[in-house]
A and B are shown apart, each in its own frame.
Chain A
């Protein structure tokens, strides 16, 4: 058994495997299958200062080795997240390392939700700032594809909380390294990437878009090579820890990201096909290290240059 602990600066994880926001609900949905405290961290679905309906349906479409989604950040809002027994109060009982993904329609929204979480932060390990959701019209990707706005959001959240901050970057930009450097300079303690790639699918028989939102975010194995490249570039561009995600379904996939420079990874879409995918990725990383006679996962991070 290799040492799987990973150091993300202000937070340490027992293993490098987290869940990707939006693919793991609020933890309770998968705690029925296994103890979610076994994961490196649980990243919950995005929380805003307000409840949100999300987009009209259909919201998902399967594509070759992947899927498009345009859920549109349906969510309970901060009040219910803090107080309803299904959300944060439940997560506190599990002992899991909890990371809360946050979003808003304005910079003020981001600051407000961060302030509310700061005031009730027991059991929260870090916040992940979502400046990259492609499926909401206001906010979301508008912040993630403009370096100055991205930095402004991070600065505002930085002022609102002392919790460690992860900024989740959009891949829908041409020079990812510049965005990574901008949010690092604005005070982000870590960087995570990639969010989904904007895409579209058309039903040729019905001659209409497959998603009610017309466009959606592409995820799954199809995006993995793009994600590995962007994680590599981001890791070259910043000193803060990078968390890699995008199409990870196996331990081998995760090792690719670690070798490219990620200090942790997240499993997302793969969980929809197999609820146990995050646990299998942990085991797969361990098996890889054992097979190569490597004692600790930290030894392979950024090894391929």
Chain B
């Protein structure tokens, strides 16, 4: 547990914000896919913490970045916090993404601000990578330039066609398979649950059962005690699944382990 002092908290576009904390202990061990569980300062009526994916870290300066969208009471208060205010942070929590091997070409498949949860992969990629960014409309495409600067090629899909391909982000996968057929591809995904279920089916179909998805659900304790944030994971029992805790057994799971509803 660490007291995260806010260094900056700025609006990006629309309802999206980026908050930067001074949190050197968490930065020292954070990896792609990890999250912090935040007690939002000044939100005294809200008794629970909120989980946020870590978007980026600077271990040398102790700075930790989180990108968030204002969606409810907690994020609304968070968006009003100023430099110098302190939020209690638990982290880094969860099982992170597997590290890409030096000869692997990571492909990040993001829906909406899932692109923030995948961005740290650019730090661990040795020979570039690709980011497939999908969203409702062009305003919701986050970090495209940051991915490019980090050496990733970027392809975009929007529901309304306002930028890139008009359609689903999963539509972009086959083009990557075609153009990078000579590389050892490794897939990672984060986004809304229906999109991730589509990613699971597609990856299994294309022969990538070890592709990883970051699943989440309404979270409560963040440390595996309460069993609120569960998702269905395959199991050797008559029902074929059990409820796994995304906070401690996840949030990252292999697509071959995710139980897909019929």
Chain A positions within 8 Å of B, measured between CB atoms, are 22-25, 29-30, 32-33, 45, 51, 53-54, 57-62, 64-67, 69, 71, 74, 220-221, 249, 269-276
Contacts and interface: CB of A to CB of B under 8 A. Distances in A.
Nearest to B39: A273
Contacts of B46: 62
Residue in A24, A53, A221 whose Cβ sees the most chain B Cβ within 10 Å: A53
Residue in A51, A59, A66, A269 whose Cβ sees the most chain B Cβ within 10 Å: A59
B217 A275 contact: no
B228 A71 contact: yes
Contacts of B222: 272
A274 B47 CA distance: 9
Interface of B: 1, 39, 45-49, 88, 90, 217-218, 220-228, 230-231, 237, 239, 242-243, 248
B89 to A, nearest CB: 12
A39 to B, nearest CB: 14
B48 A62 contact: yes
Interface of A is mostly: loop
B45 A54 contact: no
A51 B239 CA distance: 12
B90 A275 contact: yes
Given A54-B230, A60-B226, A275-B90, 19 more contacts: A24-B225, A29-B225, A51-B237, A57-B217, A60-B228, A61-B218, A62-B47, A66-B47, A71-B226, A71-B227, A71-B228, A220-B47, A221-B47, A272-B48, A272-B220, A272-B226, A273-B47, A273-B49, A275-B223
Contact of B230 (A30, A33, A59, A65): A59
Nearest to B222: A272
Contacts of A220: 47
Residue in A51, A66, A273 whose Cβ sees the most chain B Cβ within 10 Å: A273
A53 B218 contact: no
Contact of B45 (A57, A64, A71, A274): A64
Nearest to B50: A62
A182 to B, nearest CB: 31
A5 B225 CA distance: 27
Contacts, number: 90
A221 to B, nearest CB: 7
Given A67-B48, A220-B47, A274-B39, A60 B218 contact: yes
27 contacts: A23-B221, A29-B224, A29-B248, A30-B223, A33-B1, A51-B237, A53-B243, A54-B230, A54-B243, A57-B228, A57-B243, A59-B218, A59-B230, A60-B226, A62-B46, A62-B47, A64-B45, A74-B227, A74-B230, A220-B47, A249-B47, A271-B221, A272-B48, A274-B39, A275-B1, A275-B90, A276-B1
A45 B225 CA distance: 9
Nearest to A61: B218
Given A58-B217, A275-B1, A22 B243 contact: no
Contacts of B231: 57
Contacts of B243: 53-54, 57, 74
Given A29-B224, A71-B228, A58 B47 contact: no
